[in-house]
Amino acid sequence: LPAAPDPDWWRTAVVYQVYPRSFADSDGDGLGDLGGLLSRLPYLAELGVDAIWLSPFYPSPLADGGYDISDYRDVDPRLGTLDDFDRVVAGAHGLGIRIIVDIVPNHTSDQHPWFQEALAAPAGSPARGRYIFRDGTGDDGACPPANWVSHFGGPAWERVDDGQWYCHLFAKEQPDLNWDHPEVRRYFEDTLRFWADRGVDGFRVDVAHSLAKDLSHPLRDQPTLDRMLPLDGTDPLYDREEVHTIYQEWREVFNEYDPPRMAVAETWHPANERTWLYARPTELGQVFDFSLLKSRWDRDQFVDVIDQAFAGHTGAGGGLTWVLSNHDVPRHASRLALPEDTDPDAWLLADGRHPVLDSRLGLDRARAATLMMLALPGSPYLYQGEELGLPEVPDIPHEHLQDPVWHRTGHRLKGRDGARVPLPWTRSGGSFGFGEGGAWLPQPEHFGELSVEAQDGVDGSTLELYRRALRIRRAHPGLATTDFAWAEAPSGCLAYGRGAGFRCLVNLSGAEVPLPAGAEVLLASGPLGDGQLPPDHAVWLDVGAEAWKDDV
Ligand code: TEU
């Protein structure tokens, strides 16, 4: 890393999400690990990313893919050791790549020593005070204390032997912490310091909008359970005013370091002016904007999403983010091929009624959406495998499914495993180069053709498209500015300019459109007709020749 690092590096960083158990396996146990990541750091450097966000690698019983943590300051022995972690940080820094780690403050694992202590202690004890234990309602307290529901289905309450209930907004193996408790606050501030002292550059904050709950007695019911949360801070669980004081305190911790550590909030709150508050410079600095990830292949939706992001950003002063995929949603190379009249959740139903998708169309659109995203000002977050054009795996045999969504919805929804299938590195061989000992989720046969080996150096492959796009992103002077302006485009298309000379044109019209006369094509998402941009494609254009091209 540079000797005097830019404290604002994260505002324009391309961040690559590694879901460690599915990235690369160095010891043949079928689970990806830190050794696997270490050996693939040169691949990420060649891809051209600025930072890695590492999903949880901490000790965990894996009730929720590692988002159930039993020790916040160690490495899952199946994934390596703290020394391996230090090697990853040093290796990444040596290649100019920063490291962001995941912080999961809403809940611990039920195997965390605090929760084990709480279970062994009586009702009303200090040990129970770190979590949200309450007596039930109704006859003999047999009904949950409030109507709160779990994201994974069913009530957010589990009853323990002595009759009390504890709150879990996710799986029952993920008890929610009580953030009114000073010890909980101190523990997380010290956990941030623990990782910052080891050299991590930033933090991704899991369900950042849920920590400050209204725990006044008796507990208030949620006014609406349809997940369209009230947008005004009145919900007892989510996005309450009080949550911001937690992040103001964290900012003071981040600022103990030079350069200050960055952070990005995960909130599934619909993006609006309240969402942007998490990204204030006095708080986390960034918040995920999931609007692109929730959009269909639709010109007007894309234009609205981009306009709204700029409007919010201007007000709050935080950094802009863009996301097309992550480990929680079906991969966009499949998602963007969904026919317009299809319920977006239909193909996640376990009963096999999922729509038949045109995978070529999905991949074309994914590649075009990538060019649209990577030329916007701000910080794009990539999810491992999207640079290979990996599709969702919708037909994992049921006996292999592991996601708690699958289990807690009584096998009604397949859950998120289809986006978490281990990466293919080689064309053939057991587990396509993921590791010597198979893969924890089965990989489909066609993964070999999508492997790194099959795409490396192949003109027109998705991998080479990403590599080239990231090189141009670094070199083009127009992309180094914060300028952005919509440009004139053929009907049904969108176009924007960046600085002098750069233009991005995306064809969402369903028909071929002419390319502007005199423009030079820098990069195209696929083969172009003669002077024409086919439907479902995008191009980056240079509309004023510059010397910068020598650097690419
Ligand atoms: O996700 C928060 C969240 O709200 C989503 O899980 C969403 O509700 C869910 O994917 C719908 O199926 C974060 C993590 O990204 C996710 O992997 C964890 O399961 C969750 O928190 C609990 O830690």
- Rounded to an integer, what distance in angstroms lies between the CA atom of residue 58 and that of residue 350? 30
Q: What is the pLDDT of residue 550?
A: 46
340 assigned to active site:
no
CB 348 within 8 A of CB 291: no
Say which range, 59-68, 291-300, 431-440, 538-547, has the weakest mean pLDDT: 538-547
- Rounded to an integer, what distance in angstroms lies between the CA atom of residue 4 and that of residue 7? 9
pLDDT at 549 over 60: no
Average pLDDT, the chain: 94
* Portion of the chain with pLDDT greater than 70, in percent: 96
Mind listing the pLDDT tens digit for each residue in 363-405?
999 999 999 999 999 999 999 999 999 999 988 999 999 999 9
Nearest one of 392, 347, 395 to 366, comparing CA atoms: 392
256 assigned to active site:
yes
Question: Residue 143 has which token pair?
Answer: 């009904």
- H or E, element range at 533: strand 532-533
CB 179 within 8 A of CB 185: yes
Q: What is the pLDDT of residue 551?
A: 45
Average pLDDT over every residue of 300-314: 90
Q: What is the pLDDT of residue 46?
A: 98
Per-residue confidence band for 261, with pLDDT thresholds at 50, 70 and 90:
very high
Which residue has a Cα nearest atom 14 of ligand 1? 206
Per-residue confidence band for 353, with pLDDT thresholds at 50, 70 and 90:
low
Q: What is the pLDDT of residue 228?
A: 65
pLDDT at 252 over 90: yes
Active-site position among 206, 266, 386, 392: 206
Question: Residue 5 has which token pair?
Answer: 């690092």
- Rounded to an integer, what distance in angstroms lies between the CA atom of residue 377 and that of residue 371? 12
In angstroms, what is the span from residue 320 Cα to ligand 1's centroid? Answer: 21
Average pLDDT over every residue of 459-486: 95
Average pLDDT over every residue of 227-236: 80
Q: What is the pLDDT of residue 227?
A: 64
pLDDT at 548 over 50: no
Q: What is the pLDDT of residue 352?
A: 65
Mind listing the pLDDT tens digit for each residue in 408-458?
888 988 999 999 999 999 999 989 999 999 999 999 999 999 999 999 999
Q: In what order do the strands lie in the sheet with 502-507?
A: 485-486, 493-498, 502-507, 538-542, 520-524
- 391 SS3 class: coil
Question: Residue 243 has which token pair?
Answer: 């949550």
Average pLDDT over every residue of 246-252: 98
Say which range, 22-31, 117-126, 266-275, 517-526, has the weakest mean pLDDT: 266-275
Average pLDDT over every residue of 15-32: 98
Q: What is the pLDDT of residue 547?
A: 44
Per-residue confidence band for 526, with pLDDT thresholds at 50, 70 and 90:
very high
Say which range, 281-295, 303-317, 439-453, has the weakest mean pLDDT: 303-317
Q: What is the pLDDT of residue 270?
A: 75
pTM (2 d.p.): 0.96
Q: What is the pLDDT of residue 350?
A: 78
Which residue has a Cα nearest atom 9 of ligand 1? 328
pLDDT at 313 over 50: yes
Backbone angles phi, psi at 45, to 5 degrees: -65, -40
Average pLDDT over every residue of 314-324: 86
- Rounded to an integer, what distance in angstroms lies between the CA atom of residue 39 and that of residue 15? 19
In angstroms, what is the span from residue 328 Cα to ligand 1's centroid? Answer: 6
Active-site position among 256, 273, 298, 304: 256
Q: What is the DSSP string of 33-44?
A: -HHHHHHHHHHH
In angstroms, what is the span from residue 361 Cα to ligand 1's centroid? Answer: 28
pLDDT at 253 over 50: yes
Which ligand 1 atom is nearest residue 207's CA? Answer: 2
Pocket test for ligand 1, best of 174, 207, 269, 326 (most atoms within 8 A of CB): 207
- Residues with beta carbon inside 6 Å of ligand 1? 64, 67, 104, 151, 170, 206-207, 268, 327-328, 405
- Rounded to an integer, what distance in angstroms lies between the CA atom of residue 124 and that of residue 322? 44
Q: What is the DSSP string of 338-374?
A: S-TTS-TTGGGBTTS-PPP--HHHHHHHHHHHHHHHH
Q: What is the DSSP string of 229-253?
A: --TTS-SSSSS-TTHHHHHHHHHHH
pLDDT at 101 over 70: yes
In one letter, which amino acid is 287? V
Sign of CA dihedral 29, 31, 32, 35: negative
Question: Residue 250 has which token pair?
Answer: 């964290």
Q: What is the pLDDT of residue 354?
A: 67
* Portion of the chain with pLDDT greater than 90, in percent: 83
Q: What is the pLDDT of residue 351?
A: 75
In angstroms, what is the span from residue 329 Cα to ligand 1's centroid? Answer: 9
